[in-house]
Structure formats: C-alpha cells, structure tokens
Structure 1
Amino acid sequence: MLKYVLVRIGWIFIILYIILSMNFILLKLAPSYPPADKDQRDIYYARQVLDGYMTMDIITDQATINEYKAGNFDRNSKYYYQIEDDQVNIYIPVPISIQYFKWLENVLTKWDWGVSTRIEVNAPAFDVLKSRIPVTLRLNFIALFVYIPIGFLFGIVAALKSNTAIDNIISFFVMIFISVPSFVLMMLLLLLFGYALGWVPTQFPASNINDLGLQIRGLILPVLGLSFGSIAGLTRLTRAELKEVLTSEFLLLARTKGLTKNQSVIRHGMRNSMVPLVPSIIGSFVGLLSGSVIIEQIYGIPGTGRIFIRAMASGNYDYNVLLTVTAFYTIISLLAILLVDLSYGIVDPRIRMGARK
C-alpha cells in the first residue's frame, strides 16, 4: 500500500510538471501585457532582467536616441524600449527555452512564480493568490459539509420509499437542480433573497467589517448556489446505489436471520453502498471549486476564482497570476484523485489498491 501511494504521489508531480510546463510555454508564446503605468512598467522590466527572462541593452548615442524619440523605431512583440533623457533602455526577451529553465529554477529554489502585471502590479503572483485561498476553501468546505448530510438523507428516503409519491417528488426536484447550472441558480437566489426580499446582502461582505451576523448571512447565497446541484447529484447516486443493495440476496439473508429492516439497512446496506459514494463525494469537491469560479465573480467574493476571471479579462491578461492559479487548481484536482483511490480501501477493507493478484 505504501509503495502504491508513493508511486501515485510521484505521478502527481509528473503530471503537475507537464501541465504547468505546457501552460508556461503557451503563455510565453502569447502577446505580453506589461503594466500600463510607466513607473510600474520600469519596475517590471527591471524585475524581468533580474529574474533572467530578459536582457537589457543601453543606447547612449544621441542620434539613435533622437530616432527613438521621433518614433522611427516601431515597438513590436519581441523588443521593448524605454526612452530616458540621455539613454534608451532596450529589453530583449531571452529564448523561451532559457526562460523556461529560469522559471523552474525560480519556482523550485525561491518559490517565485513571477509578478502580477495587472491585478496587483509588481506584487508576487503567489502572494496575490495566497491571500485569496482561505476565502475559496472556506466557502467550498462549508458547502461540502452542507450538501453531504442533506444529499444522503434525501437519497436514503427516496430509496426506502421507492416508487412512492415521496420518491417521485424527490426525483422531480433532483432533475431540476441537476439541470440548472450553479451560476444560474445563484443569480435567481440573489434576485429573490437579496434584491427582492432583502434578507441577505447583495454583495459579499468585506473582511474588515466586524459584524458576525452580516458575515454569516453573506455566506448563505454562495453556499446554497454551490450546494443545490451537489445535493441533487448525491441524492440520485445514493438512491440508485442503496436501492440496488436493498434488493440484493445478502440483505435478504440478514432479514431472515432476525434483523429488522432498519438494522439491515444501516449495518449492511449503507456500508456496501458507500463504496461508490465516498469517492464521488471527494471528487465532487473539485466540481465545487470549478463552480465557485463563476459564483465568486457574481457575488463579489475575493477568492481565487474571481482573480482567475480578472486575469483572463480581454486585453488585461495577467499571465503569472493565471499560471499560479492553474497550479493551485491542478494540485487540488490531483490530490482529490489520489484520495478517491485511497478511499476505496478505507470504506471496504477488502479492497487493496496496488496489491498483487
């Protein structure tokens, strides 16, 4: 088992390396968007030279300086220049292959993912992300602990009351909430409870507001927006798995040995139906994260999803922040896949991942 875990962790690093390398190369091939402000742009280019992504040539010939001032030299995608009173600084990007290895060196030795060019100009990209990770994780973990018990409860009731009016009602709402995207549901909830009824704030409260009640009410809409679809999915899966177990021979044998229906369901039925349910719950956390990207933008939540959207704004791209956020979501996804595999052996000890035949 330990060997299997170590091998899987090794594959996580390999896949993460491949994904981030591809993203780095693609982003470097795209047109660059340095800071718009001149002073900030000067700082940015100096940092690029320091990090090894560019080299700088200084022109002091007055005739050439005058040519630059007259605009006779076109700015293009490969060379950037800054005109000073007595010199022109020309910044030349080094080949992408060299930039790539410098990037690896900076990340591995200094945990330096570059600097932001548009969101928080010249701030380290990881620091821009780091301040927003707790907000996103808190929101998604609350949604996770809300939808799990509710989804289980509705799924168990639907399975025990199969083909009855209760089962039909639950199945009807399940199909509705599975079909409606989370961001559409979030907008409907915002219009109804935020603007029409005024029960909850229409924007996520700022972190510096010392009002616990307002902070709690600010979590209601995004948690509901993330939870309804997950509740519907877990309800449907729980109903299907438990209903199949309830008709199995081993459960009938348990009943003939004297167990009541509730005892047989709790002791045997639920345990066997958990084998596919627990991995699906772990995997659904990744789905919650992806859904929160749009919800954070709609509700003004200062999380990782919101800066991801801002970094992708047309004509305002922030490549280093994009790469850092991509690393965050990729790591979460790969760790979730590992936990899904390990959960099989935890739920059912008869399953041994990586064991030989």
Structure 2
Amino acid sequence: MAADPKQLKIVKNLNSRGIAFAIDRVPKTNRVFYGSSDFKVYELDVGAKKPDSKALEGAGHQSYVTCVVLAGKSIVTGSYDCQLVWWDAGTKKQVRAVKDAHAKRIRRLAASPDGLIVASVSDDMDVKLWDVATGKLKATLKDHKPMTPHHYPSMLYAVAFSHDGKLLATADKVGHIVVWDVATAKKVKSLEAPVMYTWDPRQRRHSIGGIRSVAFSGDDRLLAVGGIGKIGNIDHLGGPSRIEIFDWKAGKRLHQIEDGKFKGLVEQISFHPDGNWFVVAGGDHNGFISIYETKSGKLIKQEKAPMHVHQFVVNEDHDTIFAVGHQKVVTWEMKVPEPKKKPAEKKPAEKKPAKKKKG
C-alpha cells in the first residue's frame, strides 16, 4: 500500500521500560528491539494483543544503552559504558562483548545494508568499523576534532551508511560533517553546518547543540543533517529544530529549515525511497514528528509527539513509523485510506402474480 504523509497519525502508544534511547526492527514484522536507561535491551512485539517488553539474556551493559542495530542474524548494541555487545537475534542471548570498544561514551551505531559491517561513533571522536561476524575492528577513521573552537570537549553524535553501502556519513557537535569511502576508510568529502553549534560566553561559558542525525536520500545524492539552531537559553533546549540538506558531492547546501513551533533537537531523519519527502523527529522536553517535501523544503504534516523522540525506524512500505523516547514506544501510520465501498444496490422486489379467485 502506498504511503501518504498527510495521513500521519498515532495508532499505538505503549510504555517502555525506562527511557528508550534506540530502536531497530526485525524486517517485515512488528517486532522491535530497544535500548533503555535501565542498562537493558528489550524485545517488544508491537503488534501483539498484549505487548510486553522482554529483556535479552546476558551480562549486557553497565550504563545507558544508547544504540541498537540489527545486522544479519545479530543484534549489536552500544552504551555509555564504552562496550559493544553482540546478541543472537534468534535466541535473544548475548554472544560477545567488546570492552573498551571506544575510550568514551558510544553515541550511535549504523549497520551496513548487507549486515556485514557496523559503524560506531563516540565522544572519543573516532569512527570505527566492525566486522559483524567476528566482532573484530576493521578500521578506525579519524577527522573529527576532540576539542571545540572554544577549547571544550567535542562530541560525535551521528552516523549513517549510504543505501548502496559504499559510503558512510558522520557528524559532530560543532557541525563538521564527513563522508567516507567504506572500502578504503578514506575521507571523500567534508561539509560544515556551524549554525547547529551554540557557544555562550556570558552566562555559563558553555557550548551546546550539535548535529544529532544524518541520512542519505534513497539515491544517495542528497545528505540531510538534523540538530538545533542557535539556542537562547543554554539551560534548556530553547532553540528551533533545524535541518540542512546538501548536494554533498557538489558541496552545495540546498535547504536550511528551522521550526520555532516545535523546538529542540532533530534526533532522526529518514527519506522516502523515491526522495520526494522525508520524516524527522526529536524534541526538547516535549516531542515532535514532522514531514517535509524534499524539493521545496515545505512542511507537509506535523504532529506533537507524546514524548521526546530519541530514534525511529520505518517499515519497508514506508507507511509505518516505530519510535522510542521518554518512557514510550509509539507507532505512527501514513497509510492511504482505502476507498469506501459503495453500498450494494437493492434489486426491486419481484411482484408475485395475483391469485385467481375461484368461481
């Protein structure tokens, strides 16, 4: 069934165990895995009559589980404890842990389309490529600076593979974006989105913001990044949600989109496969989900979310969104309404011939 972004609506609103930071979905099902603030990884069948979150078995993590990806028959998770943990997607049991996978908090993971490689990014500012089958480190990519221009520690938040799996995009706190060649582990292009970084020299000498999400369009021609615009109150996420779209090969910025109605961070971006529109979600203390037209940058549909959305995944038909955030697992649909069936026409009742009177 075709997707229609104008039909966006919530169809399920479930409670999560703790704050849910990350989500991925088993293909062609309503089953998802999510990582939580209680240090655990959960499986949840959203389509069940009585959905219930079940924790995966194993030693797991010792801090917030900030990233979850499915890669082939494996689930790979990352955490503020600097570990990467492998789980068997069939048995739901832990099979491997890589301690000290990074020197600082792991922020996000991405799995290659073929499920053979997982990329991780961390506050140590390294980008690492891992072999899913063995858990061995394949390459470490370095280009993101450890310190901001104001001499404070930077952070590396966002990572995404291209749809053909040949490229990887990463983006950091100060708005520095890098496109990498996966096979050679070499930098192909760098871009800048400095508006997403705020420095306050007066109130608290504090920096905040940064790019929190990155995504390639379906044809891999465009690259979108999401975050927040200039922040007026650094003690809150008091700035407009912000998206920038680039023709990355040409190094040309095509759109700068800011939304002052729904403020906060754009935590996730996903393009429709045909490239005509894209979905973003995030929040501050509240949450939002918005859909924009790619060519014009115009808003198509927007809704308040029941929580700050940390991450979402979209199904194969791109008509259903599964999202997680503060204490919630929420499902939105964008399905084209089925045409109403016309009531069957009633046939006129046949008149029975009048009975002849007996003479």
Whether TM-score is above 0.5 comes out as no
* TM bracket (short chain): under 0.3
Superposition TM-score, scaled by structure 1 size: 0.20
Which structure: greater helix fraction?
Answer: 1
Which structure: greater strand fraction?
Answer: 2
Greater relative CO, 1 or 2 (CA 8 Å, sep 6+): 1
* Structure number with larger C-alpha Rg: 1
